[in-house]
Homo-oligomer: A and B are copies of this chain.
Amino acid sequence: MKRTLASTLVVFAVSLVHAAPAGDRSLLGFSDARAVEQRKLEAQFDSKLQKENLRTWMKQLTARPHHLGSAAGKKNADLIAELFRSWGYDTSIETFDVLFPTPKTRLLEMTAPEKFVASLAEPSLKEDSTSSISDELLPTFNAYSVDGDVRGPLVYVNYGIPRDYEELERRGIDVKGKIVISRYGGSWRGIKPKVAAEKGAIGCIIYSDPRDDGYFQGDVYPKGSFRNELGAQRGSVADMPQYAGDPLTPGVGATKDAKRLAVKDAPTLTKIPVLPISYGDALPLLRALAGPVAPESWRGALPITYHLGPGPAIVHLKVAFDWKLVPAHNVIARMKGSTRPDEWIIRGNHHDAWNFGADDPISGMVALMEEARAVGELAKQGWRPKRTLIYAAWDGEEQGLLGSTEWAEAHGEELKRKAVAYINSDSNGRGFLYAAGSHTLERLVNQVSRDVKDPQKGISVAERRRAKAIVEETGENRTDARNRADQRIEALGSGSDFTPFIQHLGVASLSIGFGGEDGGGSYHSIYDSFDYYSRFGDPKFEYGIALAKVAGRIVLRLSEADVLPFEFTNFAETVGKYVREVEKLTDTMRDDTVELNRQITDKSLEAWRDPNEKYVAPKPKVPVPHLNFAPLQNAAAALKDAADRYDSAVREREGKALSENGRRELDAILMTGERSLTTAQGLPGRPWYKHQIYAPGMYTGYGVKTLPAVREAIELRRWSEAEQQVGVVSKTIEGFAREVDRATAIVQGDPGS
């Protein structure tokens, strides 16, 4: 197998400079000969996939509410573990003890100008067989809301993000001592009570406006897929941008004996009580508001004039919880690698749901299971993976990525040594492939997506993905879709189990799934059920099979490659783009600040405003200085050079394979590369988040902030912090470039086999 690495590297190099043509059969990390073998393996893998399994398992796993701490959740974990064992995996259930407060009291009423008591209940429907189950059902609530009993005038705050409060201030509206009602959307839900509390509000109601996932979008359930009048969205409101996982055990696994914070000291709990409601319950409250009419972009689809308040609606909100620890059962199934047992490919999906959770998470879970079963079938025929495979079914994701985070924290040191990559999925349905993650894996994702066909359209999922960008995007994004060799993958923020891996540990990660043609509006309601999913989600379970094919290929290529299929030029180009973005952000903020200050000082704002309406002129803002981005630009340039040098070295070695030792050494550098994108001290103010390229936003929650330390300092107008963080991030990028240079040195210096 002398030619192995050389051939691999040639392929590697060639695929850098042009889009892989349809007929290109090369595979990143494989020699041409090995690529042929690998494709045979993948064809065998495909042949084992049976969509009927997905349906059967989904039906079983969604029969009862199977949330964290529930009997059905435990039963599901046992069933999944049992199946993994039957497929030949070394399987265990690893349990952590985590904080999960469930409601004892939920009361929302309006006491003035008229009486109204919110129903806080989703009715059962004859078209949805599980909707009549009440045993162990989790009612509508937001996890990690504090207990509270508050009364006050109501204020409508739109999405409840910082710029919404600026609009309120301009209208002279202060939420201090008041209860805010915010609609879902515009940010992760946990941001809403966080900002509301920062502004002095005493309570927070979050409702699902029909504009966002109700009748405005399409017919409501059960006629169509969208949220009906009394459907409500459960969900965690912990301050996850501070840290993920169990609120009581930041940074360490929530084992039996772990040192725990007192509940009262847990910093990720909300500061004020929170409750989610349906639009049926929100309508009387919003209709009772007076005060200024809401700005146009704030108005939803309820048949009312949206006013801001405060009042005359007076609201009483009371919530109390049972602050108990519950067991989170992670199913961990291993298949040891034959030649690289200490290089781990981890593939996960959570198994817990808010209640029935057919879409979220079982649609992804059953695809993962079928993928694992097919891999097990290959193993039963005598094949063994080169590297170790770990399939994980996480518990407690819904509460804040509890199962995955506690496991990642508990095994952090070992994972930092051994983890090659983490591949996540969650919900899945009919539509387009979504892919996000480490850009060192962008080429791998692209190659895989060219090899899997869209089940309904018969073209590759890559082609569909590209078509979507061409048709729906404009400008640079459309040009990229047309001309860039690889389609871009997104950067990861948060919202699923990849977070502890990529952002806390620095394990290269991907998050994948299909969707966009699978309706919407069942999210975190009791109607996320088998009946719903089999009508609107993926009725033939064929996109579940497509997900198994995509994820299975990613796993099998990571596992079987001669050299790990990481690639650096795409990453370097992407980092360069982020650097230009933060520069542009600063320029835009500078121009906007100049314009705002000018409108204040030349009195245009005062001249423009309606004299009959209350208006508080904004204060002039401190001008945006010119920041020194040179260190970032130099670091990005250094990264590009290093990536190009590695690429050249690979080309120059064509026909001269590495030694086995060289391959191992190269793997060791490649697999830990992502770790060098983290810093020990983490991001400013939130040390749990270590990654310097990707993080969830402090005020977006799920939404990613790239180059977060720099970008958020700019957004928060902390100019000296921004310049300081430019230094930190630049050094981090330079450190990564040096790792790439170490890899180059091996490619150049290895004596060969």
| A interface residues with partner B (beta carbon < 8 Å) | 210, 215-220, 224, 226, 293, 299, 301-305, 430-431, 456-457, 459, 463-464, 466-468, 470-472, 517, 599, 602-608, 610-612
Q: How far is the CA of A538 from the CA of B599 in the complex (A)?
A: 28
Q: Could you show 10 A-B contacts with beta carbons less than 8 Å apart?
A: A215-B304, A301-B301, A431-B610, A456-B611, A457-B607, A459-B607, A466-B604, A467-B604, A467-B608, A517-B612
**B-side contacts of A304, CB under 8 Å:** 215
Closest to A219 in B: B305
Q: How far is the CA of A305 from the CA of B221 in the complex (A)?
A: 12
Q: Which residue of B220, B471, B602, B603 contacts A305 across the interface (Cβ within 8 Å)?
A: B220
Assuming the contacts A464-B607, A604-B467, A607-B467, asked whether A299 and B599 have C-beta atoms less than 8 A apart, the reply is no
Q: How far is the CA of A210 from the CA of B301 in the complex (A)?
A: 11
**B-side contacts of A472, CB under 8 Å:** 608
Number of copies: 2
Residue among A217, A305, A606 facing the most chain B CB atoms (10 A cut-off): A305
Closest to A464 in B: B607
Closest to A481 in B: B604
**B-side contacts of A218, CB under 8 Å:** 293, 305
**B-side contacts of A606, CB under 8 Å:** 467
Q: By the criterion CB–CB under 8 Å, are A471 and B599 in contact? A: yes
Assuming the contacts A457-B607, A471-B605, A604-B471, asked whether A215 and B463 have C-beta atoms less than 8 A apart, the reply is no
Q: By the criterion CB–CB under 8 Å, are B305 and A610 in contact? A: no
Q: Which residue of B210, B302, B464, B602 contacts A608 across the interface (Cβ within 8 Å)?
A: B464
Q: By the criterion CB–CB under 8 Å, are A517 and B464 in contact? A: no
Q: How far is the CA of A610 from the CA of B454 in the complex (A)?
A: 12
**B-side contacts of A216, CB under 8 Å:** 299, 305
Q: Which residue of B301, B430, B468 contacts A303 across the interface (Cβ within 8 Å)?
A: B301
Q: Which residue of B464, B467, B611 contacts A457 across the interface (Cβ within 8 Å)?
A: B611
Q: How far is the CA of A215 from the CA of B457 in the complex (A)?
A: 43
Q: Closest CB-CB distance, A471 to chain B, in whole Å? A: 4
**B-side contacts of A431, CB under 8 Å:** 610
**B-side contacts of A293, CB under 8 Å:** 217-219
**B-side contacts of A463, CB under 8 Å:** 607
**B-side contacts of A517, CB under 8 Å:** 610, 612
**B-side contacts of A224, CB under 8 Å:** 305
Closest to A299 in B: B216
Closest to A279 in B: B303
**B-side contacts of A302, CB under 8 Å:** 303
Q: How far is the CA of A724 from the CA of B730 in the complex (A)?
A: 61
Q: By the criterion CB–CB under 8 Å, are A305 and B467 in contact? A: no
Q: How far is the CA of A428 from the CA of B445 in the complex (A)?
A: 62
Q: How far is the CA of A466 from the CA of B210 in the complex (A)?
A: 39
Q: How far is the CA of A608 from the CA of B602 in the complex (A)?
A: 50
Q: By the criterion CB–CB under 8 Å, are B470 and A608 in contact? A: yes
**B-side contacts of A220, CB under 8 Å:** 305
Q: Closest CB-CB distance, A328 to chain B, in whole Å? A: 38
Assuming the contacts A517-B610, A610-B517, A611-B456, asked whether A303 and B215 have C-beta atoms less than 8 A apart, the reply is yes
Closest to A468 in B: B608
Closest to A432 in B: B608
Q: By the criterion CB–CB under 8 Å, are B470 and A599 in contact? A: yes
**B-side contacts of A210, CB under 8 Å:** 303
Q: How far is the CA of A247 from the CA of B106 in the complex (A)?
A: 67
Top-8 shortest CB links A-B: A467-B607, A467-B608, A467-B604, A303-B303, A471-B608, A470-B604, A456-B611, A215-B305
**B-side contacts of A466, CB under 8 Å:** 604, 607
List 9 other contacts, CB 8 Å, given A210-B303, A219-B293, A302-B303.
Answer: A215-B305, A216-B305, A217-B293, A219-B305, A430-B612, A459-B607, A466-B604, A466-B607, A467-B605
Q: How far is the CA of A217 from the CA of B219 in the complex (A)?
A: 24
